[in-house]
Structure 1
Amino acid sequence: MKLLIADDQMSLHTYLDKVIEWRALGITQVKHAYNGKEAADIAMEFMPDLLIIDIRMPELNGIDALRLIQSLPRKPKTVILSAFDEFEYARDALRLSVAYYLLKPVDAEQLIGTLRELIREIQSELQAAVERKLEKAGYKSDYSDICLDVIGAAFETIGITHYAVSSVRGNLPAGIAKELFSWASDSVIPYSFLLKEGSGEYIFLLGFKEELLQEQWLEWCELRIIHWRVSHPEWEAAMGISKVGTKLEALPLRVTESIQCSKLSFYVSDAVIGFREAPISGDTDLWMFHEMEKAFEGKARGGYQSEAIEGSIKDLFDQMRSRRPEPEFVYGVCHRLLFILTHAFNREMQQTPNVPSILELKQFRRFDNLRRYVYGKVDLFLLDTFGNSGKQFEVMRRIKSYIEAHCEMDLSLQTVADHFSIDKYRLSREFKQEAGENYWQFVTRIRMEQAAAFLKETNWKNSKIAERTGYMDESHFSRAFKKHYGLSPKDFRGKQEEG
């Protein structure tokens, strides 16, 4: 923020420099003029954001100097300091859009309050101007020189030296994701600009007043996400962040980095994902997936057995998990798989089979959840098509594998039934038939075995082990463990150490 002080009294300049900490107000450059003509000349070259000016000065009075300054592309917010409380001066000041008319002798506190108010106005106007440019650029992905010049001028005025881009994705209603960056500004990242909003995705440009290491930027975002999840547990959000940059011509690249990272949240569970090279595979891998789809369609339409069809689907999902194509592409693949499967075995049907739409599939914002849903649909379809032989065992085997791999998650009967698209009563009945124990006995046994392994192999506290084995609190975990093993977690660990 730049300030020009114009007054013919040297003592006023000295006084203001002594009693006001300009940098504390965000003013980084201060210049002085001692008559009206000098003030106008300096203003033309210096382009101040703020102007403090006297009226009665030699060579050119303050009012006439302001008339010349009116020709600037962006006029400074102006405060007149005058010893004269005259209506004519006040009227002329109003015509020249002077913000404040203060009388001498100067009240430093009053002037500081006035400058703070004007600085807030400037920041608000600049933020609005930048967001207008960014909104247009974000939707068209067109960051022209004019757009970058506007942003650069705003950054210089506000004092932004570094920036980064963040993309927020999730099942978020319009307007709510901006809360991630609209909480009270802090000294680390005081400025945020909305680049783009739509379809559950929000892209922000964040400005820093000092150099910020990538690790600090990542940590700041993780704290924001934690705050967000506490405030809005009903909404799921993940954040992709770009590298920290200084040169605005690299802004389009920073935007691309953040979008690619946010898309990676489809595959990984991290709440905040920092930029890494090629996080999402490009078009070069798509031919392979199309070939695998064709192979699957050939088996489905050729009447292959269920094991061959399931094997094709598993191979395809394993490759997608490994190579990480665009989420949109994965949704399309899943829709086509289900379409091919239902139509291949229902050629004689009068009614068109009910195939989930891509929009319905997009409710699954994580790859693993989508895969489980598709597997469940395929299992049910093949069970109906090929009969019960071997299928019940296979479904229960998958459910047991899921429980063993996700001890820390919600494993209620309803939740797991929903994951596998199976009725919970059917799950309970068939699970006991296949496993020889009821569902909750199995879940508890697996969790206890996992807890025992943690007690043997780590020095984790009971609270962490409880969390990693799906228990809400340490006391509940300890009671369940003692009931299962006849020993408290502490005694169990002690016995293991003695052995």
Structure 2
Amino acid sequence: MLRLMIVDDEEIIRTAISKMIDFTSLGYELIATAKNGMEAFDIICDSYPDVIITDIKMPILNGLELIERAYNLDIGINYIILSGYGEFEYAKQAMKYGVQHFLLKPTNKQELINALIEIHDSRNEVQEKQRLQQQHILQKVRFPMEQCFLMESLEWQQDFSQCFQKYDQLLSFPSHCLHACICTFIEDNNLNAFLKDINKMLEKNQITQFFPIISVKNTVILIINVETLNIQTKLQEFIENRTYPSQAVSFQAAFMHFHNVFELYQSIIEKISRFSQILLIDSSLVAYEIRNNLTSPWRLKELENIIKSSSNEMEFEEILNTTFSTSINLEAAKKISIELFLMQNSSVTEYSLDMACDFFRKIYSCTSTQAIYEMLRDVLSTSLQEQLSLDSKQKSYIPLLKNYVNNHLDAEYLSLKWLAENYLYISVGYLSKQFVKEEGERFSDYLNRIRMEEAKKLLAIYSNDNIKSIAKQVGFGNSPHYFSQVFKKYVGCTPSEFWETSKTEHVHKSL
């Protein structure tokens, strides 16, 4: 369902539009109505609508000004502008913000329905493209995630269920993959030859591998689809008939069948956990040892523990900077970043696939190790602060949010959605509920209140002709008029009046 908001200064129009269309049947949820641009902007900060139907002429903040400011918060919002004949050309200015739908008043019901349907269909197309991009990104980072899954599973067998659920989101383990083939007596000097032969056989017979090949002391584990006895027999005969000049004993193949995917991986983890050396072999038959190099998850777990035990942010950055030294190559840096990011997300309920894919996409768009370091530093710094803010049972993101806001009051982009997606990497819905529950007020009220408190301090220092500069410093960009309106709402007077009063009080105190 798309989240819809209606903005118009005439109550009769807001009510009429709200009631004349069955929004639910069109795939919309009407989340709010607003009587002016200021009220609408606060709702955008709090309630992250997808689509806004708005009038042009409104008090305080008109429709075009609303769109301009909202664009800095969320470029993904779609707008339907309602305008009179004399406003139509004016409304076209909104096209630079991507607005495509302009309807003349009085509003025609069918035209509005058609516009809503067109937006819904367009967003579905965009979502499908994003889904395909997400699949591409997950495929690109699949092997590092499979390494991390193996490592976490081995490290935390007692919590395997939680670990499996998290990676099931990312790796999408097929439910029909219920078999494993255990190949034994494969001596080290014959491992490469055996892997090449088995790979060719699997490809020739279109037998799908669902996980990279796992190798432990003279044993190779294949997680494959062998649903028929014919395929199983054929594979077994192929393996056991392999001969190599230096091979002392014959290979053996045993098949394991499980009731579900969870049992399959749990059993494999139990079997390999006793071995000191574990290899994971990628699709190019390159073997990665899990323990003895920097990009190994075993070492990364140690690195994560060191990062978490950092006593302050400076120490944390020094550790991270040492890891991402100039000697490390770009691909290794990407791999480390992905694995460290995944290790931070141990709770399935707070894990967001969209957020993870967005992180992976940003990492793979980096062209230097320094860029990767800077991005990972910001993400892990948030996680580090989060650990420091834990109480005995409940994790709260609100102290982190408030700290970020206090340090970035000049940023026009501040909204719950932006903070959730770009700073905290959690669900915006979850963050919204948590903020109201803990603070007892909406995020927009909190944001405006502390911005006005900072503005009052600045007005007491600077002269009256600095209002435009002050507006910019507290997040209102090039909108001093809107800043004045918000200031009056929260303080009870305009910035100029406040400055005059402060100046008079200062003179009286000095006498």
- Normalised by the length of structure 1, the TM-score is 0.35
By relative contact order (CA 8 Å, sep 6+), the higher-ranking structure is 2
- Normalised by the length of structure 2, the TM-score is 0.34
Larger Rg: 1
